Amino acid sequence: MLLASLKDVDFGYSDVPTLHNASLEVHSAEFVAVTGPNGASKTTLLKLMLGLLKPWKGKVQLARKRDDGSRLTVSYVPQQIAAFNGGFPSNVQEFVLSGVHSRGSWLRKVTEKDRAAAEKSLRQVGMWQLRSRRIGELSGGQKQRIIIARALTQRPDLLIMDEPTTGMDQESRAGFYELMRHMVEVHGMTIVMVTHGLDECRPYLDRIIELERKGEGGWKCCSTTLCNGHFVPAG
């Protein structure tokens, strides 16, 4: 199933476009990395895909429903989310548990199933042992992991992340990539991730979308590479 697409999209923040004729497709149950040099509008590309920015021209589509007709759930982990205020009032478990409200009313009661989902997500990112810790007491890498755990608790169909491994050590990054691969293969989640660490995550990916310079004006275009071993084109 096609979940998100850009077709011949132009966008910029001044009178010069930073993205030019950008086209891409994201399908169900694939792990996709977006990469390119600094200043290559990778974050802008994600925001266009999510509908947070409107293109100057071209077409952006984001699916509203799944194959079964139910609402498509999308989670977004932005860049530098680790910069929480030191006085953030909740502890780790409370913060992650708040992710369940994205799938329904804020007024509904938290169920045991919700608590189990939050616990599972915290265990998956290696943060269950710090569940009672105040968020302001965590390191940058630990904060990054709990925001990912909160996104996983939402059980999204499409998970979009901007540099999610920022602040993580090498062991934590490897565990994170393995977890994302598991979510794709076992749970059918679709993951789009901006990263600079392409060499590390390449073995886990289905596709790479690379932003390349086009022309003298700093315009960018997208090229897509299949990664051996994982990706099966949608029928």
Sorted by sequence, the CB contacts under 8 Å of residue 97 that are 6+ apart come out as: 110, 114, 115, 118, 153
Q: Bigger pLDDT: 90 or 232? A: 90
Q: What topology is assigned to 1-72+157-235 in CATH?
A: Rossmann fold (3.40.50)
DSSP H or E stretch at residue 17? none
The model's pLDDT over 135-147, given as tens digits with 9 standing for 90+, comes to 888 888 888 889 9
Q: Where are the domains of the chain?
A: 1-72+157-235, 85-154
The model's pLDDT over 93-110, given as tens digits with 9 standing for 90+, comes to 988 988 876 555 545 677
**What distance in Å separates the CA atoms of residue 191 and residue 42, rounded to the nearest whole number?**
15
Q: Of 72, 58, 63, nearest to 4 (Cα)?
A: 63
The model's pLDDT over 159-176, given as tens digits with 9 standing for 90+, comes to 999 999 888 888 888 999
Strand order in the sheet with 57-62: 19-27, 2-11, 57-62
Inform me whether the pLDDT recorded for 231 exceeds 60.
no
Q: Of 228, 224, 163, 170, nearest to 202 (Cα)?
A: 228
Q: What b/e sequence results for 199-225 when a residue is b if at least 16 CB atoms lie within 10 Å of its CB, and e otherwise? A: eebbebbbbbbbbeebeeeebbebeee
Give percent of the chain above pLDDT 70.
Answer: 85
Q: Which of 4-8, 105-109, 213-217 has the highest mean pLDDT?
A: 4-8
Report the chain's mean pLDDT, rounded to a whole number. 84
Q: Can you name the residues that pair with 161 across neighbouring β-strands?
A: 77, 193
Q: Bigger pLDDT: 217 or 210? A: 210
- Give the pLDDT band (50/70/90) at residue 215: low
Helix residue spans in 56-139 (DSSP H): 92-97, 112-124
